[in-house]
Amino acid sequence: MATTALGVDIGGTGIKAGIVDLETGKLISDREKLPTPEGGEPEAIVEVVAQLVERLGGADAQSGLGVCFPAVVQHGITRSAANVSKRWIDLEAEKLFEEALGRDIHFVNDADAAGYAEVRYGAAKDRDGLVLMTTLGTGIGVAMIYNGVLIPNNELGHLEIDGVDWETKAAVSAKEREDLSWKHWAKRLQKYYERLEALIVPDLFIVGGGVSKSPEKFLPLLDLRTPIIPAALGNNAGISGAAALASPLPTQDI
């Protein structure tokens, strides 16, 4: 069984990749990163992924390769498109990547990958009950984990509040675009997490994405029934989860 795998995390503004130690979930290579091509068109994104894979030693068929993406992924087909071209909707995306890279891959939603990494290696390891992993970045993604098992494919990052898709108000990109203070941004996050609590009633929230490296600036400003903690793997959770799902444990198959 392989002890390492390559993970690629495609986001709305950047594409990151690294080689992951499957025992610990930690990167054993430098984290390579390139900007997401403007417009997020399929062919352009695939080309960038191929460049990153080549930087990390190429597509070695003897080890796993996982790619995570900001969309609902159903049997290798992207059923939605968040912060990328709408051409991804109903596209056979897994097949597109496999043909470009010349090998099999595991293709999964980005929040689901991050959530799986936190279950296998991080803040949700050995946690019972219902855990919601929320990724705050260009958009908002949510992974659901129940008693350690990932329940894939939800769109809870796109909850409608006050008549708008609230990720347009509460994602990190909104904070940056509107130059919001941490206090003002936390008020928007409060509304979002309160709505999640009303709909799902989880036992734990985990917050991932680049902003998770500064949890002291906003998490203490939230007043929720549910405990809320930062992701242990930080902004590398998507890479680690994508790699891990390319070499899954026997009990996890999505």
Give residue 251's pLDDT: 45
Give residue 187's pLDDT: 98
100-116 confidence digits (pLDDT tens):
999 999 999 999 999 99
pTM above 0.75, yes or no: yes
The stretches in the chain having pLDDT less than 50 are 250-253
Give residue 59's pLDDT: 57
β-pairing verdict for 228-230 and 204-208: parallel
Q: Which amino acid is at 156?
A: L
What are the chain's domains? 4-113+236-245 (3.30.420.40), 126-231 (3.30.420.40)
Give residue 68's pLDDT: 97
30-57 confidence digits (pLDDT tens):
999 999 999 999 999 999 999 999 999 8
Task: Kindly tell me the burial class for residue 200, based on how many C-beta atoms sit within 10 Å of its own C-beta (0-12, 13-18, 19 or more).
Answer: middle
Task: Kindly tell me the burial class for residue 38, based on how many C-beta atoms sit within 10 Å of its own C-beta (0-12, 13-18, 19 or more).
Answer: exposed
